[in-house]
Amino acid sequence: MVSPNISSFSGFFLLGFSSQPLLEMTLFVFIVIFYLLTLLGNAAIILLAHLDPRLHTPMYHFLSHLSSMDLCYTTSTVPQLLFNLKGPEKTITYGGCIGQLYVALAMGCTDCILLAVMAIDRYVAVCRPLHYTMLMHPRICLQLVTMTWVTGLTSSLVQTVLIVQVPLCGRNVIDHVFCEVPALLKLACVNTTFNQMELFLVSAFLLLVPLFLILISYSCIAMAVWQTRSSEGRRKALGTCSSHLVVVLLFYGSATATYLQPPTAASQDRGKFMALFYVIVTPTLNPFIYSLQNKDMKGELRKMMGKE
Percent of the chain with pLDDT over 90: 23
pLDDT category at 118 given cuts 50, 70, 90 is: very high
Is residue 275 within 8 Å of residue 176, measured between CB atoms? yes
Higher pLDDT, 266 or 217: 217
Q: Which residues 6+ apart lie within 8 Å of 141 measured at CB? A: 58, 61, 62
Higher pLDDT, 262 or 62: 62
Spatial separation of the C-alpha atoms in residues 38 and 55, rounded to whole Å: 21
pLDDT digits (tens, 9 = 90+) for 203-251: 778 888 898 999 999 888 888 888 776 676 667 667 667 778 888 888 8
Distances in Å between the alpha carbon of 254 and those of 32, 100, 152, 182, 278? 20, 19, 19, 17, 6
Q: Does residue 142 have a pLDDT over 90?
A: yes
Predicted confidence at residue 216, as pLDDT, reads 92
What single-letter amino acid sits at 33?
Answer: I
Tell me which range, 30-39, 122-131, 245-254, is most confidently predicted by mean pLDDT: 30-39
Report the alpha-carbon angle 240-243-248, nearest 5. 120
Predicted confidence at residue 2, as pLDDT, reads 34
Domains, the chain, with CATH or none: 6-304 (1.20.1070.10)
Question: How many beta carbons lie within 10 A of that of residue 128, not counting itself?
Answer: 14
Spatial separation of the C-alpha atoms in residues 125 and 132, rounded to whole Å: 6
Predicted confidence at residue 260, as pLDDT, reads 57
pLDDT category at 85 given cuts 50, 70, 90 is: confident
What single-letter amino acid sits at 109?
Answer: C
Q: Considering only CA atoms, which of 217, 240, 237, 213 is closest in space to residue 225?
A: 237
Is residue 74 within 8 Å of residue 283, measured between CB atoms? yes
Distances in Å between the alpha carbon of 79 and those of 31, 96, 105, 178, 298? 10, 11, 18, 11, 30
